[in-house]
Structures are given as C-alpha cells and as structure tokens.
C-alpha cells in the first residue's frame, strides 16, 4: 500500500512543485502577465511539438496503433461534452454556458498530460493516440460552443461560414496536431535522424514540460475565485471526478491497462487547459469561469490524479 502511494506521489508532486515555482516567480515579479503569455505561447508552438515529434518519430507506429483506443477516446469526449451541456442548461446565465461546458471537458492533454505521462512511463506514444482521438473534437466543439453562447452572438446562434473556416484553419494549423502527424510520417517511413537534428530536437523537447508547468503556475489569479464560485466548483467536480468515474471503469472493462489507462486518466481527469481561457476571451466572453477553472483544476488535479493513480495501482491496473 505504501509503495503504491509513493509511486503516485512521485508521478504528481514534481508537476505540482513546478507550478508552485511559476506561481512564486509571478508573485516576486520575476514573471509578469506578458512574459507568462509569451512562455505559454512558445511552449505550445515550439517546445511541446518538439517533444511529441522526438518521441513519436522513433516509435514503431504499426505495432502501437490502436484504432479502438482512438475511437474510445473520441466517443468518451463526445459523451462528456453532451453531459456537460446537459448540466449547463441549469445555469441561469446563457452567456456563461459555453465557458462552463468547455472548462468541464477540455483537458490539458499536451501540457500537463505529457509531463504526467513521462513521469509515470517515460513514453508519450499513448498520449499521442489519445490526442488524435480527442483534441480535434476539443477544438471544433469549443469554437462552436463559444460562438453561439457569446454575449454578442448572432441571432438564433447561426454559425457563419467564416467561423467554420476559422475553426478548420485553427485545426489544421494546430502545432500539436502537426507535430503528431510529422512524427507519424517519420516513423512510418523509418527515416534516420541526423545527429545534429536529433540532439537539437531533444534539447527543445527537454524544455517543454518544466517550462509549460511554470507558465501554468504563473497564470494563476486568486481573485478569479471570488465570483462564479458555484459554477467553478461544479466544473471541478466534472473535470476531476465525474468523467473519470464514468469512463475509467469502461476503459478497464474494455481491457485497457498501464500506459493506455493512464492516457485515459489524463484525458478525463487532468486540469482544464489554459488555452480555454485564451479562446473564451478572444471570442467575446468574460473569461472568469475559464481562468478560475484552469487555476483550480490545475491545483486540485495534483491531488486528485494522485488519488486516481493510487486506486489504479492498488487494484493492479497500472
């Protein structure tokens, strides 16, 4: 029992401590809002894609590809969105519903997820398959939801062709998706990486996880907790407990174990991604629910993920 607890803490506490470092650096003014935004942007566009490509390019994807796992991730994502949308119907403020739904289902699969998986298994191949199944749905549904629930949404929530084009463009230019596709192609072609290229990508990838966590920690704003606390509490319940309770047993029943099960745990129970706040603000929302959800789920997931890992480890599933 004690060994299982130590295993779980070893996987989650370094992640939490890196976020504490970011929060502390912001408090002593070594980081500000502009520098934090820049960190989050460069991590998303450069360092995380490098880490994903680095790991995937050397994989034998013919042997690790699992269509049923990708399909399970996609189906669980769609059902989670439907459940969150059903719960959001009880919110008296229609303009808050889009933020609530997005914060409930959209996980930090790339930032926190990759750091979490490398701590547990030192291999992100299953995270990549999970991302393929879930992140395109995240992006498409988030844009549509936030557009039709925005305070200045068009009459009857009609979605314009320009919005559809913008959504498709954001999807096909997503650096995470592009790096996964590049890694897949490189792996399937069995290409050798020149030493200079390999070392350079490795250097970039090594920066990704710690810098991403520091950026998330520095993004915390405690003042966001003072308003909309009921909606924020419900988002935390959905994000950290409800979807895990619903879909982890199904994944276990389906036969998923070890890194596949941990990838599912990341998708279902990790923190709300910080990009949900950026997208909400850019689409006319106040962003209060989104920013507070990112902060609280990131903090609390350090403990809830430890709990879920401990449970899965104790029952011998990982």
Reported as a single tens digit per residue, the pLDDT across 152-164 is 654 444 555 666 6
24-40: pLDDT as tens digits: 998 898 988 888 878 87
More confident residue, 279 or 45: 45
End-to-end alpha-carbon separation of the chain, Å? 14
Please say if the pLDDT value at position 1 is more than 70.
Answer: no
Could you tell me the fold of the domain covering 2-314?
Na+/H+ antiporter like fold (1.20.1530)
Which of 132 and 48 is assigned the larger pLDDT? 132
Buried b (16+ CB within 10 A) or exposed e, 66-83: eeebbebbbebbeebbeb
Over residues 188-244, the pLDDT tens digits come to 888 888 888 888 888 888 887 788 778 777 876 666 566 678 889 999 999 999 999
∠ Cα 170 176 182 (to 5°): 110
What value does the mean pLDDT take over residues 162-178?
72
pLDDT at 81: 95
Residue 101 above 80 pLDDT? yes
Q: What share of the chain is helix, strand, coil (3-state, %, to 5)?
A: 80, 0, 20
pTM metric for this prediction = 0.76
Average pLDDT, the chain: 82
């Amino acid at each position: 029992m004690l060994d299982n607890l130590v295993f779980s803490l070893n996987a989650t506490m370094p992640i939490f401590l890196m976020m504490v470092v970011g929060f502390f650096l912001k408090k002593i003014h070594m980081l500000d809002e502009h520098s934090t935004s820049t960190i989050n942007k460069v991590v998303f566009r450069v360092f995380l894609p490098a880490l994903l490509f680095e790991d995937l390019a050397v994989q034998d994807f013919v042997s690790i590809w699992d269509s049923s796992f990708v399909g399970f991730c996609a189906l669980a994502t769609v059902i989670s969105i439907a459940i969150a949308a059903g719960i959001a119907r009880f919110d008296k403020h229609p303009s808050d519903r889009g933020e609530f739904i997005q914060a409930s289902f959209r996980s930090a699969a790339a930032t926190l997820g990759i750091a979490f998986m490398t701590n547990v298994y030192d291999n992100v191949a299953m995270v990549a398959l999970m991302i393929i199944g879930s992140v395109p749905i995240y992006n498409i549904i988030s844009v549509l939801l936030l557009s039709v629930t925005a305070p200045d949404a068009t009459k009857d929530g009609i979605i314009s062709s320009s919005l559809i084009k913008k959504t498709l463009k954001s999807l096909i230019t997503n650096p995470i998706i592009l790096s996964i596709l590049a890694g897949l192609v490189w792996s399937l072609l069995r290409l050798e990486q020149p030493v200079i290229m390999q070392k350079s990508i490795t250097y970039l990838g090594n920066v990704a996880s710690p810098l991403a966590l520091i950026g998330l920690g520095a993004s915390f704003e405690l003042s966001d907790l003072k308003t909309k606390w009921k909606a924020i509490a419900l988002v935390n319940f959905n994000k950290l407990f409800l979807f895990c309770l619903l879909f982890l047993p199904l994944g276990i029943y389906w036969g998923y174990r070890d890194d596949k099960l941990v990838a599912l745990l990341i998708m279902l129970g990790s923190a709300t991604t910080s990009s949900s706040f950026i997208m909400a603000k850019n689409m006319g929302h106040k962003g209060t629910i989104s920013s507070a959800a990112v902060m609280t789920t990131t903090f609390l997931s350090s403990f809830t993920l430890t709990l879920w890992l401990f449970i899965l480890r104790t029952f011998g599933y990982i």
